[in-house]
Homo-oligomer: A and B are copies of this chain.
Amino acid sequence: MAVQTTSVAETCAAARAASLELARVDSRTRNAALEAMAAALEGRIEEILEANARDLEAGRDPGLTPALIDRLTLTADRVRSIAADVRRIRALPDPVGEVIEGRKLDNGLSMRKLRVPLGVVAVVYEARPNVTIDCSALCLKSGNAIVLRGSSTAAHSNAVLAGIAAQAVTAAGLPESSVSLIAGGGREELPTLATQDGLVDLIIPRGGEGLKATLVEHATVPVLHAASGNCHLFVDRSAEIDDAVAIAVNAKVQRPGVCNAIETLLVHSGTAAEFLPRALAELRESGVELRADERARSLAGEIGSTLGQATEEDWRTEFLALTLAVKIVDSVEEAIDHVNRYGSGHSEAIATGSTESARAFTEGVDAACVYVNASTRFTDGGEFGMGAEIGNSTQKLHARGPIGVRELCTFKYVLEGSGQVRS
C-alpha cells in the first residue's frame, strides 16, 4: 500500500500496473484475498478501534457535527458487520470473464464479448471509514485496482483499514498496489487525481454535492456519481387506496434522508377526495410537513386548510427530509409530463389498478427505475439481487441505477481466427 510516500501520479501509475496483473488473476485468488480481508478485520478490531478513537478525539476539537461524528464512529459490532459485508461480496458470482454474448462471424472468426475489469477505479469519499473496505472489496471482486482518497477526519481509521486491505491482497499473492490510499489533507489532490488520463479509468465521488461538483468540474477521466433523487409517487384514479397510502407513507417516511425517498406526491383528481384525507393524515402523523397546491388543499377535506402552500420551487426540490410536496393532476399523461420535467431520473412509482396506465407510465417516464404498485425505496443493489452497491447512477451512459460489481466492469471483444484477412 502506498500512503503519502509517493505522488498522486506515481500512486496511480503503480495502480495501473497492478490492474494489468489483476485483470489476469482467477476468481479463486481474488476471493482468497477477500476472505483474508474479512478475517483480518475480525482479528484486528482492537487496533481499528484505537485508530478510530484517535480520529474521534481529533474530531472533537474542530467541532465536527454530531452527524459527522456518528458517521466516523466505529464499534466492534460495526467492524464485524463490515467483515460480513466483505464475505457477502466474496460470495457474489464473479463478473470477470463472463461471456456476455458470442457468435461465429460470417468470415469464420469466433467472437466473444467478455466482461473484464475497468482497470483503476478511484474513490473519493468523506467521513465514513467503512467506505475504505466496502469499495476495496467491490473493486477487488471486480478485478479492479483501487485508489482511495478519504477524508483527513478519518485519516487514522482509513490508514489501518486500507493497510488491512492491502495486506490481504498481498497475502493472496496479488500486487500490493491493488489497493492504495492517498492520505491527503484538503482537496488539493483532487484535481490531480481527476486528470490521470490513461491511468485512472473511473472516478467515483461518495459524498456531498460540493465534492461531486469539484470533481465534475476538474475531471478529464470519467466520473460516475451517486445521484440525487427527486422521486415521485403518482396515485392514479384506479389505485387501490390502502396500497397507495401504504406506499406513499413508506416511500416518504421509512428513511427520508436517502435518494430513493419520494419528494412529490402526484394524485389523480378523480381519486383525490378519497385518497388525500387518509394519506395526508397518516403522513402528518409520521411527522411529515406537507406542501400542497391549491386543488389538493381543496380536495383534501378537513386537513386541506391546514396544509402549506406548494410553490414551483417545491416541484424542483429534493428535500431529503420529512417534507412532501403534493399536486393534483388530471391524467397519467400529465403525471408523466410532470415527472419528466422535474424528476432527476432516479426512481418513480405509480399506484394504479389499470394496465393501460401502468404501461403508459413505465414506457413514458424517463428514469432509471420505474415502479408499479411498489415503493421507490427498493432501488438498491442489495434489493435488486446485485449484492452490494457503490452508489446509484442517474446518468444514462454505462450504468443506470444501482452500481454493483458488474457495473465496475467494461468488456472486451476476443476474436479467434485461422488467418482471416479483410477483402
Contact = CB atoms under 8 A, between A and B. Distances in A.
7 contacts: A20-B366, A23-B363, A24-B363, A216-B220, A222-B397, A369-B414, A375-B420
Nearest to A380: B422
A371 interface: yes
Contacts of A254: 421-423
A106 interface: yes
Interface stretch (A180-188, A239-247, A295-303): A239-247
A79 interface: no
A420 B378 contact: yes
A208 interface: no
Nearest to A407: B397
A153 B383 CA distance: 54
Contact of A109 (B240, B374, B419, B420): B374
Interface in A392-423: 395-398, 400-401, 410-423
B416 A411 contact: no
A410 B396 contact: yes
A156 interface: no
Contacts of A364: 20, 23-24
A23 B366 contact: yes
Contacts of A358: 416
Contact of A373 (B396, B397, B418): B418
A118 interface: yes
Interface residues of A, number: 67
Contacts of A141: none
Contacts of A384: 105, 111, 413
A364 to B, nearest CB: 6
A210 interface: no
B222 A415 contact: no
From A202, A216, A410, name the one whose CB has the most chain B CB atoms within 10 angstroms. Answer: A410
B413 A370 contact: yes
Secondary structure of the A contact surface, majority rule: mixed
Contacts of A370: 412-415
A367 interface: yes
A416 B254 CA distance: 20
A372 interface: yes
A366 B422 contact: no
In the complex, the 4 A-B pairs of residues with the closest C-beta atoms, listed nearest first:
A374-B417, A250-B421, A243-B419, A377-B422
Interface of A: 20, 23-24, 103, 105-107, 109, 111, 118-119, 201-202, 216, 220, 222, 224, 240, 242-243, 246-247, 249-251, 254, 340, 358, 362-364, 366-375, 377-379, 383-385, 395-398, 400-401, 410-423
Contacts of A109: 371, 374, 378
A190 to B, nearest CB: 18
A404 B62 CA distance: 54
A153 B415 CA distance: 40
Contacts of A220: 216
B107 A378 contact: yes
A111 to B, nearest CB: 7
Contacts of A410: 396-397, 400
Contacts of A419: 240, 242-243, 246-247, 373-374
A179 to B, nearest CB: 20
A423 to B, nearest CB: 8
A361 to B, nearest CB: 10
A104 to B, nearest CB: 10
From A340, A364, A371, A412, name the one whose CB has the most chain B CB atoms within 10 angstroms. Answer: A412
A362 B414 CA distance: 7
A415 to B, nearest CB: 5
Given A109-B374, A118-B396, A222-B395, A368 B412 contact: yes
